[in-house]
Structure formats: structure tokens, C-alpha cells
Amino acid sequence: MKTLKMTVVAITSIIAFSACNGLTGSSSTKTAKTQLSVRTAPANTVAPTAPSSPASTGGSTAATSSNTIKVDTAKVLIKKVEFHGAEEDSTEFEEGPFVLSLNMDTTVSSIAVSNLPNGKYTEISFEIHKPRPNEAITDSDFVEGPKEDQMYSVVVKGFYNGKHFVFKSARSAEESINLNPPLIVSDTLSSYNATIQVFVDKWFVDRNGNTLDPTDPNNTEAIEHAIQRSFQAFKDNNEDGHEDHDETDSGQHSDNSGTNANDGNG
């Protein structure tokens, strides 16, 4: 069974108190109220792990030679969002599953709110999840019927060379995004914000910069791998969708963020 994982995450943290211990072994009982958000990267933005892509004419458009793709909507089913600490500890943030709808206008959107214990976080992980037959998924785009081969984790709609298409993936993958430098949650700052960007305009472009026809089944695997390579995470305290470069904030994220996507069975 296949499923894909994805997403853009903005973290806004406001210090609160709870009975949880910090990730670094501290006896502190404080936590941070944390908001997760997602953003679609603008066109022509260089993805962290993907090759350079051809010129495009909008935040969701990719073109090579005479082939053009315009993405109108992109949705992913996500579950098991976790933050991982420097000592290999992890904190469950949101169980899910829930639908992640990517805004093609590149605005930052909130998707979940939870609390994190004080500590150092070096990685965010999540699944983009193919529904199981016994799960109640309200969005019918992900479930076409009761059988497993009628269930999907990613749904993309748009136009290829002017003709409407619907691309659906049933791949399962565990996505891990490095926070480097780490996100440090403590009582010294009043808020934190990190953003995960999704490079949607790279989804239908191969490693050589050629447009992939989303209606050709032979391109499905290449498109799925391109999706898995399309995530980046960075600190973004003002939630403007751009990396913060100040050096004094302990939650800063460097330009060397990366991803590690593993196929899984779900």
C-alpha cells in the first residue's frame, strides 16, 4: 500500500505551563503553544534538494518547451506530525489524519495547534497518509470507493497543455525535515515560528528539467519522488513565508535545510 507525505509548517510558540518535561533532560515543566502552518513556494524558487527547474509563469505553473502545467489545487492527507529532539526524543504534535490544502497564492496558512515541551528540536516528521477502509475521511477526493485501490494520499488538479487533469497518488512515505540550526523552545522567548514550504511547481518536472505529463501512468513514480523532494523548513517568526536571518534568535533555521523521505507501507 502506498501513501505520500508532504507539507509547509509555520510554528508560532507562546510560552505556557504544563506537567511535561523538556527534551534536553531539564526539570522544567514549561511548554510552548505551537501553531503549524503551510505555504506553497513561489515559482522559480530553488528547492533545497531538487535540481534547478525551468522558468515558470506563476506560483503553480511549470513549463518546458511547448509543455505547460498549471496546478489549481493540491491536497495531501497527513497524520502523525512529530517534533524530534537533539537526544532522539520525539513529541507527538498532531495525530490526524487531516487534509492539508495548499494555497496556490503562496500565503501562509495555519493547519494545527498544540503544545511542545521546552527543549531543543532538530527535526519535524510526518506522514502523508493513504486512508484505510475503516477510516472516516470526509473529503471524497481521497476516497472513490470502499476498496484500497480507490483510496489516495495526494490529489492534484490543474491543466496540462490546456487540458484538465487530475493526478492522484497512493504512495506512502515518511517525510523528515531537518531544523538546522535547531528550534529551541524555552521561557526566554515569547514566540516562535517555523515554515515548511512545498515546492509544488517542481512536482511535475524531472531531474533534467523536463515537464512530466501527469496523465501518463509511466510518469507516476517520478512525480511521486519529485513530491517527496519538495519540502523545506526554516524559522519564520513573523510568519511572512521567508526565512529569518537574525542570529540572536535561538530558533533560527539555516539555508541548509533538507529532507529525508522514506517509502513506507500505510
Q: Which long-range contacts (CB under 8 A, 24 or more apart) does 238-241 make?
A: 238/193, 239/10, 239/12, 239/37, 239/108, 239/193, 239/195, 240/108, 241/10, 241/39, 241/106, 241/107, 241/108, 241/195, 241/197
Query: For residues 91 and 264, which has the higher predicted lDDT (pLDDT)?
Result: 91
- The one-letter amino acid at 110: S
Per-residue model confidence as pLDDT tens digits over 68-112: 999 999 999 989 988 888 776 778 888 888 888 898 988 888 877
* CA dist., res. 151 & res. 131, Å (int): 6
Task: Give the strand pairing for 231-235 and 90-94.
Answer: unpaired
What confidence score (pLDDT) does residue 150 get? 92
- Asked if 116 and 83 count as a contact pair (C-beta separation under 8 A), the reply is yes
Q: Flag the least confident range among 57-61, 158-162, 260-264.
A: 57-61
What confidence score (pLDDT) does residue 163 get? 96
Q: What is the mean pLDDT of residues 52-63?
A: 44
What confidence score (pLDDT) does residue 238 get? 75
Per-residue model confidence as pLDDT tens digits over 98-107: 888 898 988 8
Task: Give the strand pairing for 30-40 and 194-198.
Answer: parallel
Per-residue model confidence as pLDDT tens digits over 114-128: 788 888 888 889 998
* CA dist., res. 200 & res. 124, Å (int): 19
- Asked if 100 and 140 count as a contact pair (C-beta separation under 8 A), the reply is no
Q: What is the mean pLDDT of residues 165-181?
A: 87
**What cell does 62 get?**
511549470
Helix (H, G, I), strand (E, B) or coil at 80: strand
Q: Kindly list the domain boundaries of the chain, sorted by start residue.
A: 12-261
- Asked if 123 and 83 count as a contact pair (C-beta separation under 8 A), the reply is yes
Q: What is the mean pLDDT of residues 180-201?
A: 77
Calculate ∠ Cα 81-29-90, nearest 5°. Answer: 25
Q: What percent of the chain has pLDDT over 90?
A: 26
Sequence-ordered list of residues with C-beta below 8 angstroms from that of 151, at least 6 positions apart, any chain:
130, 131, 132, 133, 142, 143, 144, 170
- Asked if 151 and 114 count as a contact pair (C-beta separation under 8 A), the reply is no
Q: What percent of the chain has pLDDT over 70?
A: 70
Please report, for residues 106, 124, 195, 230, the alpha-carbon distance to residue 37 in angstroms, rounded to integers and kept in the order given.
12, 13, 7, 16
Task: Give the strand pairing for 61-64 and 67-85.
Answer: antiparallel
- The one-letter amino acid at 42: P
Task: Give the strand pairing for 231-235 and 109-117.
Answer: unpaired
